[in-house]
Amino acid sequence: QIKQRNFKGVSKITEAFRIEYYKNVKKYLQTKKQIIPCYAGLASGQIYANGDVWQCCIDADVMGNLRENNYDFKKIWFSPKAAEIRKKVKDGGCGCPLANASYTNMLMDFKTLIKIIINYL
């Protein structure tokens, strides 16, 4: 059971997200399966020091390299390789309890947002 406190303002919003985040982490650690849809490679991405573009820092599937593509991020982001990686993620091939990714995923997932609103109320 996650202890709920009587927060106000922004702290109350933060608490509502954290309650849902910790519930999802607990479920993930028990099942090792994707709890909510992952939007890595769609809502967020990573650029490594050598110019590699990844969908996330955990899986680090290389979509392409900026240096090898004349620093054209758009070309890499909308490439067939990027689409292939996004499909893998969408099909459940990604599920981790990483906080930064989880908060982005929660913002993108309508069902989870409803749960967060309920936590807020």
Distance between CA atoms of 70 and 47, rounded to whole angstroms?
15
The pLDDT tens digits for 55-97 are 988 888 999 999 999 999 999 999 999 999 999 998 887 777 8
Q: What is the pLDDT of residue 3?
A: 59
The sign one gets for the Cα dihedral 90, 93, 95, 96 is negative
CA distance 79 to 110: 27
Give the Cβ contact number of residue 27 at 10 Å.
Answer: 16
pLDDT digits (tens, 9 = 90+) for 4-37: 666 677 788 888 899 999 999 999 999 988 889 9
Quote the pTM value: 0.77
